[in-house]
Structure 1
Amino acid sequence: MSARRILFVPAALALGAALTLTACGSDKAGGSAQAAKPSQSATAGTDAGAAATTAPQPAASTPAAGAPAPGNTGAARPKTPTTPTTATGAGSAAGGGESYAYTHSCKAANLTVKVTTRGGNADQRVIEVHNQGSTYCGLSYYPLVSVGKSADRGNTVTPLVPGGLGGPPAYALAPGKSTFAVIDLNPGSGSAGDYDELNVLADDQMPNADTRNFPLGAGAKVGKQPKLGLYADSADHAAQSTALAGKS
């Protein structure tokens, strides 16, 4: 999803309101006008912690009891759902299409989650969320993510995320399709320490118990302020949206 698309919807609504007022004025003058809701796969499958694109990733470990979640605040959804430009699948697919997803959040039992290293950038990790259910479902604009230490799960770093988003489900995920989010672990902000684990909660409305923990792999460098982008239809598009992190 692009920031331009997100910003376009409110602008379009404002323009529509202006046109409607103009139409009413013409009618009074005698003219006619027509008014115009962060180990392994979320289902304990075998695909969690899949091999990295450019470097192999160790298999994700099983979340330990009481493992910390990235922080479920429920604040990553827009008040007025909009069809993201990167939503996958046709609107007429099973489960009522994209509109169905905006009132039906994804369930962890119907999702699998993978983390791999992005090709060409050893500091970026691709988070892939796959809908293995039979209907559309809705996700927040981005997953809840934190970077931590497997030996000390109380010590975590939370990435910058795009601002100004909150409300009901925003990203419509078609059955059998995947969406992607990218976190840049070290966007030139200096070293934060020896972190080795990525904690992922696919949707901000899920309970913290659905958080999955993935090893970062040997040699991972974590900066003081990682950046996380929006869900998108490809890793490349998701990586581009990391530029929105920290901006409202």
Structure 2
Amino acid sequence: MRKFHALPVTLLAALALTACQDGTGTKDEGAAEPRLTSAATAPAKATTAVTDAKDTKDTKDTKSETAAKADGGNSGTAGNPKRGNSGTAKPTDPSDPANRVSCNGSNTTVTAEPVSRPLNHMLITVKNTGSKYCDLTYFPVLRFDEMQWVPQPIGDSRAQAVTTLAPGESGYAGVTLSAADGSGEHGRTSHKLTVGFQGRTPNSSGGPSALPKLPAEGVYYDSSLTVTYWLRDMDQALSY
């Protein structure tokens, strides 16, 4: 039987060193070499992508700002020059007859209120509730209860131009109910008032009348009853 003798330690070390040098030695197959190139370049690619995205956003923001300035700040109103920032249509041109109608009971609200000063006076207020300009022509045609005569206008109160009301505006007429010195005749108290509107020509119809509510105690008037022409100023209407 053969006997194997132990190799000297120095010979074993030499064999191991030789195996490593000629590539025949044992290697660790589970460990992969790191890919330094990919790891080193990844942050650079990410930075480039972020920069490109920021440049694109800045370009879009600049274009949006330029378009807004060119539009005058009226966002959403392109192609509609009659609309402002709020999108509400501006009033129509009053110089165009097509945009003007007669004021009457269908497109206004009418009130009639006695005032403390001057004495024995009442103020009639007409507010345009329509969408077009309306004209208050001449003077109101007043009828208390079932009276058979029409109160005459005060000539000096006639305005130089027709009182035209834009939507939401008001016009006025002052009424002298009775003589302050008691010289009037046939005085009586009325609980009903009809306000008529004239058309483009004197004494023509301007449309439906209005029935403003009178105070519960009624309104006293006599033969001195007169009315002003339609005016734009309330104080002026009560100055006659």
TM-score, normalisation: structure 2: 0.49
* Structure showing greater relative contact order (alpha-carbon pairs closer than 8 Å, 6 or more residues apart): 1
TM-score, normalisation: structure 1: 0.47
Whichever structure has more helix as a proportion of its residues is 2
